[in-house]
Amino acid sequence: MPPYRFTAIDSMAGSIGQLGAREIHARLTSVEHGASLVTRGAKETKIYSDNVQAVVLVVKKDGFGSGVVISKDGTILTNWHVIEGASDVGVIFKPSSASGQPSKKDLRRAKVVRIDEVSDLALIRLTEKPPKNVKTIAFGSMSEIQVGSDVHAIGHPTGQTWTYTKGLVSQIRPGFEWATDSTRKHTADVIQTQTPINPGNSGGPLLSDSGTLVGINSFKSEGEALNFAVSISDVRRFMSTAKNRYASPTRPAMAAAASSECKAREIKQGTDKNGAMVSWWDTDCDGKIDTWFIQPKDPSKPFTAVFDSNGDGKGDILVMDTNRDGKWDISYYDIDFDGKIDLVGYHPDGEIVASRVEIYRG
């Protein structure tokens, strides 16, 4: 270990705060188009085509999810945990361009107007005009579904946008209790389905065979085909009130808050084969290096932070301070861990997490 300290690197490492490599990766947003129309017949094709323009991608700094347009003025229904902690979010409508790639005209801003933490629902509304071709999804009723009924979902699982899936209702569970990653305790009437959903589907529609909204896809449990949607009965209750409703943290959350938190720890420092100074860190307290800071000898080259968010020993996020002023400027992300850049991020505020993320065009 060399006898010197990397002053510049130490300063930048401190700017991470308590954000670990995995958390930073979780805060990425993917707007890459990955339309997956899974057709199993004319009825399914029609359900998708009739409703897909009413499903949006909801984006904030630390994640993304789905949303359902329910009125022509741009009112959108989603999950509370999709917009948690935000007062305004980005909304991306399905691209109308021939390329199928989102552009600036497909992006709108929306403000959070009402939340219900208990049933994990939220209402957001566009602050600008919606697209001319905006469509809405009509509310259905619980009478439209029963155990064994076909149901359909449209959403953005793991960033694969406007994906269609189909399944069966496994059970209807009144007063069901669950907890999200935020450790809030939720209670609602839920519809258990075999309809495949994944992170990114949250906030999207569960549709009946007639194409009406019968639930908001919200979470899945460990095991095969254990997927859950907040029922239309709770959606209607939420829409009928003008007040926010809040849930209490669960006991584990309160205990975690009282306990000491994980702090990023430098594992070692040295130089690489090019003579650049490098500082290696463990940011999630698992004893493994997941972050390293590189300070090239050439003062014209940027400081770089490299993050290994999936624990495979390879960097998949690069964040750069191009002019070495102690503020982050640009970042590059390999979100599917194939060694190729998928997204580029911009940091006008100098923070470690990008304020804006776009598809990387090369």
Catalytic residues: 81, 120, 202
Q: What angle do CA 267, 322, 107 make, to 5 degrees?
A: 105
Residue 305: C-alpha distances to residues 6, 153, 331 (Å): 13, 39, 9
Phi-psi region of 104 (alpha: psi -120 to 50; beta: other; left: phi over 0): alpha
The dihedral built from the CA positions of residue 230, 236, 242 and 248, taken in this order, carries a sign that is: negative
Token pair 């017949």: residue: 41
> Coil, strand or helix: which one is 282?
strand
Give the DSSP H or E segment for 258. helix 251-258
Residue in 149, 179, 183, 180 with CA at minimum distance from that of residue 65: 180
**What's the one-letter identity of residue 13?**
A
Token pair listed for 6: 């990397």
Residue in 66, 89, 355, 107 with CA at minimum distance from that of residue 219: 66
Phi, psi (deg, nearest 5) at residue 177? -115, 140
Cα gap 49→54, rounded to integer Å: 10
- Burial (0-12, 13-18, 19+ Cβ within 10 Å), 249: middle
Contacts of 321 (CB under 8 A, 6+ apart): 12, 302, 303, 304, 327, 328, 329
Residue in 81, 86, 91 with CA at minimum distance from that of residue 59: 91
